[in-house]
Amino acid sequence: MKKKILIVIADYYKDIAKGLLGSAKEVLPKSGLIKVISVPGAFEIPVTISKNIKKYDAFLALGCVIKGETPHFDFISHASTEAIMKLSIENKKPIGNGIITCLNMRQAIARKKKGREAAQAVISVLSQ
């Protein structure tokens, strides 16, 4: 059976998003159905997955949150991670968390290939 995978990507940082998506696609099976939905930021990823939870076998959450001068970074990072984990457990479907959290743009650029690791995690859980 072909697996259906939805990638939800926050494209607030376009170059970082492109790197995350490209590296994830490198390892995803070519035989499956893969759809990509772009959202403005990491906070919108969980609701988009929730709206599509019944239509797909697995999900990838990709995006980047960079720390600024306010606690906003902490709130968004924590809320997104909690919501993704809750969706995964409640629906018994793998969601690869490829939302990178960085202190600055230099770190984000260095980590923009991390989509690959999230995709590999999803593939691993799907094959169990």
Exposed, middle or buried: residue 71 (CB in 10 Å: 0-12, 13-18, 19+)? Answer: exposed
The angle, 0 to 180 degrees and rounded to 10, between the axes of the packed helices 14-27 and 115-126 is 40
**Tokens 């169990």, residue?**
128
Q: How far apart are CA 82 and CA 124, in angstroms?
A: 21
83: three-class secondary structure by DSSP: helix
- Based on the residue annotation, tell me whether 72 is a catalytic residue of this protein: yes
Which member of 72, 78, 86, 106 is catalytic?
72
The residues carrying an active-site annotation are: 72
